[in-house]
Amino acid sequence: MKTLVVMNEKGGVGKTTIVAHAGWYFAERVATLVIDLDQQGNLTTTLGSHVSSVDSVALFAAPTRVPAVGRLTVARSTRALLGVEGVNHACIETFRDSLAAMAGDYAICVIDTPPALTVRSFGALLAADAVLAPIGINDYSIQGVAELLRAIKGVAHHYRRPEPTFLGLLPSVFDRKSRRERALFESLAAQAGKLLFPGIVAKRDLYARAVSEGQPVWALPSSAAREAGQEIRHVFDEVARRMEIDP
């Protein structure tokens, strides 16, 4: 099982949209597990028809498997996740062991993390094969990138494991009609071009509609939805290629 972690300290960068669509995309091809570690639970609401009987908090308590409910299975978020922050940090390794116990159950696991560097985030990073960082094209979301990269290196060093592959910074909720955002994007590309993911997720009302209706944007009946579907599927085509996820 390959594990993809979607992470950014800043909220409002489209993480829920990206993780939900990752789940739908990969479930078309392989058995897919999605783990919601964000106590807000927006992803759990979106993918509610695929929720398993095991909540994500259980994965920190003891090595635990999440029974599949179909090609797409979700370990849901609950407010109990907040309690993980106050327990012994050995739970970070327990979370890794829970995912290792499911190595033969799923082809890919996609993890949604809270918008902060928490014990849950470190657990996700310890288990990660690859990390994707959605960013809004604004000064505040970009500022947290260096901290995220330090966290990836720090967890790998502390636990003496190879660093997960950093897939890149994915420009998300990008308003291409905004002159300021286009200028910021060009500046970001000039400063950190090697860190940019080769794709974007533009700011589109259709993504919000898809998430609220609990279905992928490419399933919505319009030419604009097909265009959005091509855009976001291109992102996951590249993720699948780089993570060697074969259908």
Task: For residue range 124-171, list pLDDT tens digits in order.
Answer: 999 999 999 998 776 555 666 778 889 999 999 999 999 999 999 998
Long-range contacts, stretch 217-225, CB < 8 angstroms, 24+ apart: 217/21
Domains of the chain: residue spans and CATH = 2-243 (3.40.50.300)
d(CA 112, CA 34) in angstroms, rounded, equals 8
Task: Report pLDDT for 18.
Answer: 95
Confidence (pLDDT) at 136? 79
pLDDT at 156: 95
pLDDT of residue 219: 96
**What residues contact 78, with CB distance under 8 A and at least 6 apart?**
39, 41, 55, 56, 57
For residue 33, give the 3-state DSSP assignment: strand
From the CB of residue 55, how many other CB atoms can be counted at a distance below 10 Å? 19
Structure tokens at 20: 């939900």
Q: How confident is the model at residue 246, as a pLDDT?
A: 81
Give, as one character, the DSSP assignment of residue 101.
H
Q: Return the pLDDT at 178.
A: 76
> CA–CA separation, 53 vs 69, rounded Å?
9
Residues 92 and 102 sit within 8 Å (Cβ to Cβ) = no
Query: What pLDDT score was predicted for residue 139?
Result: 57
135 phi and psi angles, rounded to 5 deg: -135, 140
Q: What pLDDT was estimated at residue 141?
A: 56
The residue type at 60? F
* Per-residue pLDDT at 143: 65
Q: Which two tokens mark 215?
A: 């279905």
Q: How far apart are CA 63 and CA 139, in angstroms?
A: 40
Report the alpha-carbon distance of residue 114 to residue 40 in Å, rounded: 8
Q: Which of 31, 12, 247, 235 is nearest to 130 (CA)?
A: 235
Per-residue pLDDT 10s for the chain (247 aa) are 999 999 987 666 788 999 999 999 999 999 999 999 999 999 999 999 999 999 999 999 999 999 999 999 999 999 999 999 988 899 999 999 999 999 999 999 999 999 888 999 999 999 999 999 998 776 555 666 778 889 999 999 999 999 999 999 998 877 777 787 777 777 777 766 688 899 989 888 999 999 999 999 999 999 999 999 999 999 999 999 999 998 7
In tens, the pLDDT along 15-34 reads 899 999 999 999 999 999 99
DSSP string for residues in 141-192: HHHTHHHHHHHHHHHHHHTT-PPPEEEEEEEEEE-TT-HHHHHHHHHHHHHH
User: What does the pLDDT read at residue 109?
Assistant: 98
Q: How far is CA 16 from CA 40, 92, 194, 246, in A?
A: 10, 23, 25, 24
pLDDT at 25: 98
